[in-house]
Structure 1
Amino acid sequence: MDDPPSRAVLSDEQKIRVEFARSDLDKARRADLAAMSSPALILSVERLRQRLDDMLTLIEETQDPLG
């Protein structure tokens, strides 16, 4: 039986990045997208794209280079 993968220990800065991403995602989930103006919707999508990119970078930072 394989051992479960170990969890990476995040630095304080990485934890803050995760919290910002969670906060932005929560705001997007609560937003009434149908009522948003086009510029506001574009900004919301762009913010989420940036957070996704940051989270993928964070995953790369914390991956075991040997795993």
Structure 2
Amino acid sequence: MTDEQSHPTGTLTDLQYARIDYARRDLDSARAEDLAQLDAAGLILMVERLRGRLGDVLDLVDELTDLHQ
């Protein structure tokens, strides 16, 4: 299935589903991490990764709401 095709269970493309899956995996990883054990650099990297994923998911929401207006 290509990115332009709808996913059989909804209106999201495979690429959109992958973007959501990446965000969920990064969030699960951050939740599982013992933050007290991370040094400053590790915390910064985690925040930057999550910030990027949040931005991507918000872009995805914008894409989807633009399509349905």
| TM-score of the two chains, using structure 2 as the length reference | 0.80
Unaligned runs of 5+ in 1: 1-7
Larger relative CO (CA 8 A, sep 6+): 1 or 2?
1
Give the ranges of 4+ consecutive aligned residues of structure 1 lying more than 6 Å apart after TM superposition. none
Amino acid at match of 2:51: R
Equivalent residues in 2 for 1:1-67, closer than 5 Å: 9-63=11-65, 64-65=68-69
The size of the alignment, in residue pairs, is 58
TM-score, with length taken from structure 1: 0.82
Deviation digits for residues 5-27 of structure 1 (CA, Å, limit 9, x no counterpart): xxx61100010000000000000
Calculate the aligned-residue CA RMSD, in Å. Answer: 1.0
